[in-house]
Chain A
Amino acid sequence: DAGVIQSPRHEVTEMGQEVTLRCKPISGHDYLFWYRQTMMRGLELLIYFNNNVPIDDSGMPEDRFSAKMPNASFSTLKIQPSEPRDSAVYFCASSLWLYTEAFFGQGTRLTVV
């Protein structure tokens, strides 16, 4: 398996624009997580899915953030409208069970100017 695949690797956008981050989890993994990483706050869990169903979105900072998982092999994280404080590295991870090894993608570095 190729591992967790995220796209794009880098995204630079202007404030107010819509940003969509994409993730393909490892086949067979029932859990998918979206994390955000900054120097100040570390790695924060935004939302996670079990069998394509959102289970806990309490980490989503605002209504500007939304995530979907239309099928077992694809998920998106959307920010609309984007703001400079959203600049961070966004990681997608998948795992077999909730607390077993999480396999991370390479991340998307988002810069909002």
Chain B
Amino acid sequence: TQLLEQSPQFLSIQEGENLTVYCNSSSVFSSLQWYRQEPGEGPVLLVTVVTGGEVKKLKRLTFQFGDARKDSSLHITAAQPGDTGLYLCAGGSRYSGGGADGLTFGKGTHLIIQP
């Protein structure tokens, strides 16, 4: 059972379109991170959200942490081919007794932006 479920698993859209990807869990997390991974590289942190309801913007990317700190979303406005990659969410410590088990990663959303 995956602690963090990401959807959709794959998404291919045209340049200029908007999109939203989701990261959901039944567990409450102290924080949630979003990473982007390009082929042949390791994941790179985009943002960390720590407060329920928090919204952070990074240029055309908008990140939201759910009020209950169980879910998060990433919205991209006017997607560009450079946004192509694997988007991973990762949860911090879980309040439901997960122990000190490090970051928990979802399987990711494979995003392709076609020119």
Q: Is the CB of A45 within 8 A of B101?
A: yes
Q: Is the CB of A56 within 8 A of B42?
A: no
Q: Is the CB of B106 within 8 A of A42?
A: yes
Binds B, one of A63-71, A79-87, A93-101: A93-101
The range of chain B's interface size is: 20 to 34
Interface class of chain B by DSSP = loop
Report the number of A-B residue pairs with Cβ-Cβ less than 8 Å: 60
- Set A91, A99, A104: member contacting B31, Cβ < 8 A: A99
A94-113, CB under 8 A of B: which get 1 and which 0? 00001111101111000000
The range of chain A's interface size is: 20 to 34
User: Complex Cα distance A101/B42, Å?
Assistant: 13
B90-111, CB under 8 A of A: which get 1 and which 0? 1011000001111111111000
Residues on A close to B: CB < 8 A?
4, 33, 35, 41-45, 48, 55-56, 58, 91, 93, 98-102, 104-107
